[in-house]
């Protein structure tokens, strides 16, 4: 079953990329941080003005906190996110010579960057063989019977045990599949191409 699911998703989503709009590693990292508990669509509306005023880590490291808050005020948890991205920029300048590290542990040392954010940046920017678990990946994984874990950390471990390759493709695929087909509410089962593997369909029938 797992091999079938993998091959189907790899075939359908082999060229998939994040829907966040970015031009470089700096912009990608900031976008991913802002996207936590916020839609990609909303982030894409916010970031053009942010990146126009603060186009790199050097500029952001010298930014006014109040100004950054205003620029991202329509984003969820904007107060904390504003503090985090400014502190992140300062750390990149002081600890990494102004270059954002492409190493998971070093990325996670930066403000606002956890396991999921680091993995998303590395799999998106470097095509690294990593799995990141967001709300969509978590939902899809459980509905397809790939994990029964209660949290994202253990769900990631379960997925990594099952899938040894193509994790970056599967992540992108699960995100898009969860966003547009296997929705939290009103899943589009008539468009589902892995319906036969779904353990959730019986609940829907009831």
Which one is catalytic: 83, 97, 105, 116? 116
Question: Judging by beta carbons within 10 Å of its beta carbon (0-12, 13-18, 19+), is residue 2 exposed, middle or buried?
Answer: middle
Pairwise CA distance, residues 159 & 155, whole Å: 6
Buried (b) or exposed (e) across 144-160, using 16+ Cβ within 10 A? Answer: bebbebeebeebbebbe
CA dist 190 and 167 (Å) reads 26
**How many residues can be counted in the chain?**
206
Query: What DSSP element (H or E) covers 138?
Result: helix 135-143
Which residue in 41, 105, 108, 134 is the catalytic one? 134
Buried b vs exposed e over 95-116: b needs ≥16 C-beta within 10 Å? ebeeebbeebebbeebbbbebb
Active site residue 116: yes
User: What DSSP element (H or E) covers 42?
Assistant: helix 40-53
- Positions marked catalytic: 116, 134
């Amino acid at each position: 079953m797992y091999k079938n699911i993998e091959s189907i998703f790899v075939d359908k989503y082999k060229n998939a990329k994040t829907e966040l709009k970015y031009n470089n590693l700096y912009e990608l990292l900031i976008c991913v941080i802002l996207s936590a508990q916020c839609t990609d669509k909303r982030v894409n509306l916010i970031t053009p003005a942010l990146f126009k005023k603060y186009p790199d880590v050097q500029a952001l490291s010298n930014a006014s906190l109040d100004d950054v808050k205003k620029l991202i005020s329509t984003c969820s948890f904007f107060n904390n996110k504003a503090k985090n991205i400014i502190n992140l920029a300062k750390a990149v300048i002081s600890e990494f010579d102004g270059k954002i590290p492409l190493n998971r542990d070093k990325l996670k040392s930066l403000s606002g960057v956890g396991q999921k954010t680091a993995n998303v940046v590395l799999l998106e920017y470097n095509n690294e063989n990593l799995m990141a678990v967001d709300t969509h990946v978590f939902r899809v994984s459980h509905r397809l019977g790939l994990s029964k874990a209660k949290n994202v950390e253990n769900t990631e471990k379960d997925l990594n045990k099952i899938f040894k390759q193509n994790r970056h493709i599967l992540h992108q695929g699960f995100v898009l599949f969860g966003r547009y087909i296997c929705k939290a509410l009103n899943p589009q089962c008539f468009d589902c191409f892995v319906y036969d593997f779904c353990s959730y369909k019986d609940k829907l029938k009831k």
